[in-house]
Amino acid sequence: MSDAMERPAIRRLASPRAAAVAGVLFAVLFATSLVLLRSALPGSLAAEADWRGDGATRITLAVSIMPFAGIAFLWFLGVLRDTFGEGEDKLFSSVFLGSGILFLAMVFVAAAIAGALLATVDVGGEPETTAFAFARAVMLQISNVYALRMAGVFMISLGTLWLRTGALPKWMSLVTYALAAVLLVVVSLSLWATLIFPGWAFLVSAYLLVRSYRKRPVLPHA
């Protein structure tokens, strides 16, 4: 009887901490991959991309890091949902999960296109041909337009779930709404726009991590 009563308290402590660690890993890995990728492939389609030498090294490293960022994001997604408990709203939870998975899928597709372009150059392809320019434009549209919109929807649904369940304070939901609004309306291909999402994830994760260490579980006596 005592073990059964202790399990819920342990779960409430572990889930936010696990979410925080996964969120920090995602934010750091995703931001690093974005910076590496976009430093080799500038946001402006008129700018010349560096397909060889140092640029190729940065693209290779970015593409290699992205799958691990995705794994961390999936863990972040799962343990965040676990913190809502039985008070979870099924409607917003469905949007939360769907938009998060769509965001990750689009990010993977964009990274795969970058890797494919680099592989084509490695086997003798000529960079900046019409096909290369088209593929690069598709990659930027996926990552900066569609993926960012899904990130905004993800943040709005998550902020609403926080308000309904009280899992996080109201100010965190308001900050989330404000940043999500920026992601939904931004039309720029700038690197700074893409860094809003990992920056937000780092903020949320840091808050959850600090809060998890401040709180101590109150375990019932046997």
The mean pLDDT of the chain is: 80
The predicted pLDDT at position 161 comes to 86
What is the structure's pLDDT at 192?
A: 75
pLDDT at 41 over 60: yes
The structure's pTM equals: 0.80
- Tell which residue, 151, 198, 172, has the closest CA to residue 29: 198
pLDDT tens digits, one per residue of 76-110: 888 777 767 666 677 777 888 999 999 999 999 99
Residue 222 pLDDT more than 50? no
The structure tokens 């964009």 sit at 110
Q: What is the pLDDT of residue 91?
A: 78
Structure tokens at 11: 């779960």
Phi/psi of residue 135, each to 5°? -65, -40
Which tokens hold the place of 70? 């995705």
